[in-house]
Amino acid sequence: MDDLFSEILFLIQRVSWLTILDLILVSAIFYVLLIVLRETQGRTLMRGVIFLVIMISLLTTLVNLPAFSWLVSITLPSLLVAIPVIFQPELRRGLERIGRAGSSTFTLRGSTINMEAIKSMIKDVVSASSRLSAFRQGALIILQRRDDLYEYEDTGIKIGAQVSAELLLQIFYPNTPLHDGAAIIVVDRITAAACIMPLSASGVLNSSPERQMGLRHRAALGISETTDAIAVVVSEETGAISLAHRGRILRRISADKLENVLIAFYTQQAEIQERTNIMHWINKVIHFREKQE
């Protein structure tokens, strides 16, 4: 016991601010990595990699195995290259989230948001979703926010028409050329239809009753994972309305709740933009006065 206390005391005496900084940096790296891989298939892979690394470390440290140690030293560089390749989708998604975190100004296609146009668009989307739900006609409507969706628009048919409930009903009418795929809305315009969305790589569908959802719901989750867009889905089988955002899906919501949620999303972003614009105006005034002085 005395030897144990002596060892602990020896370690404490050797701790410096550089040691603390070193531990904080390593902990931060692991924390960010776990946040990036949270609720993705990569989480299971990472768990297996960590277990494998711990087992290899114990074997090479506690047991004298020269041949095994040599094999580990040879294969380790290959693993360092293979791991980023394996986790490429999750790492890319995480870096995109980090990149979006610094952007607070809410603009759409270079112009600031028009809340009156947004509210009118939301009413048309809710009306169309409610009627599609009553007829059990499947639909996938993507509402663009800060992130551009040009690459997804290019996979479909360009429209560029004013949003209306009737036009959305026509787009998603069964067996018409545009009913498969997603319709993308930017402010008050349907920019494209029959667009192909990325399918979800999240573990959400595997750990919940929603794992039996169809391609529309998986595509809605997929676009919400890769961008900050809002996806509205109408189930062709049940007529249920769902909403996906930031890799989460809200199932079986009413038309009234859908309208309230959509308005809340855009109102919050408009308030952030207004505060940002005020601060920008104040900074310009201060800078102008400093130049005058």
Highest mean pLDDT among 98-102, 190-194, 278-282 belongs to 190-194
Provide the pLDDT for residue 29: 79
pTM of the model: 0.62
Q: What's 181's DSSP letter? A: S
- Reported as a pLDDT band with limits 50, 70 and 90, residue 138 is very high
Q: Where in the chain is the domain with CATH 3.40.1700.10?
A: 109-276
What is the residue-averaged pLDDT of the chain? Answer: 77
Highest mean pLDDT among 108-117, 223-232, 260-269 belongs to 223-232
pLDDT digits (tens, 9 = 90+) for 140-172: 999 998 888 888 999 999 999 999 999 999 999
Q: Copy the structure tokens of residue 193.
A: 């239809």
Report whether pLDDT(182) > 80.
yes
Query: What is d(CA 158, CA 150) in angstroms, rounded to the nearest whole number?
Result: 11
DSSP string, 198-246: PPP-BSGGGSSGGGG--HHHHHHHHHHHHSS-EEEEE-TTT--EEEEET
Mean pLDDT, range 267-276, rounded to an integer: 57
Query: What is d(CA 119, CA 125) in angstroms, rounded to the nearest whole number?
Result: 10
For residues 65 and 121, the model is more confident at: 121
What is the topology classification, in CATH, of domain 109-276? YojJ-like (1 (3.40.1700)
Mean pLDDT, range 239-254, rounded to an integer: 90
Count CA atoms within 13 Å of residue 229 on its CB side.
Answer: 30
